[in-house]
Amino acid sequence: MGKDQGRKVPKKIQPCWTDDACRPDLEKYCHMAIELGADDAKVIESNQVILEERVRAKCSIPKCTFYGTSLNCPPHSPTVREMKEILREYKYGIFIKLIVGSNLVAGERAFKDDTMNPARKKLYEIVSSIESQAFYDGYHLAMGFGGGPCKRTFCANVECDALVPGKRCRFPLRARLSMESAGMNAFTMAARIGWDIYPIAKTVSPDDVPHGTYLGLVLIY
């Protein structure tokens, strides 16, 4: 039993995929996301992914604390132009929503104690699990994106090993680009498919928002 725990059985890679052939898998990944703890997951087409230069610019204007400190954050992450080229080669993805209690993400104390970190880790784990399953299902180019800096989530108090010559990421199977660091306007994408989302910061009282939201995406094929 122990030896088989987490065992993956790979499926044969197809020379090409059709919508009819992949639809059951896409729905399976949505159900999988919810089973893993997401509050919702939807199949979206790649043209629903909004890529904007201003999203990536917000990492430096004003400059984020984690700017330049991780391989998955600007200026090291792919540019918007590069992401647009990558996105053209995908047709479908799984958009994932994780709701977090407002007391964990809003207000001075939440930011000081970083009480939202368990939710960020959970989102990254959901994203990486779906990406992994899709890989073994034959979608070998599946690509996942989390929410919030992976540096803050996994390596807040240590240097990013991936930026050190001769070293590699400490968490290569979980750490990913965030949607924002790739230039994706995740908030507008969520609003357009009907998910409620609110801008939250230190100055927002938990009493003034019903919940926080973390968003992730896995491009499938």
Q: Read off the pLDDT of residues 99-109 as tens digits, 9 standing for 90 and up.
A: 999 999 999 99
Helix spans in 58-149 (H): 80-87, 102-105, 108-113, 117-136
* 117 pLDDT above the threshold of 90: yes
* 175 pLDDT above the threshold of 60: yes
Average pLDDT over residues 17-24: 92
Mean pLDDT of the chain: 94
Cα angle at 9 between 5 and 14, to 5 degrees? 155
Residue 2 binned pLDDT confidence (cut-offs 50, 70, 90): very low
What are the E-state strand segments in 18-130?
A: 40-45, 92-100
Q: What is the pLDDT of residue 161?
A: 96
> What is the distance between the terminal CA atoms of the chain, rounded to a whole angstrom?
33
**Secondary structure of residue 55 in the 3-state scheme:** helix
Q: What is the pLDDT of residue 6?
A: 67
Q: Give this prediction's pTM.
A: 0.93
Between CA 17 and CA 32 the distance in angstroms is 21
Residue 17 binned pLDDT confidence (cut-offs 50, 70, 90): confident
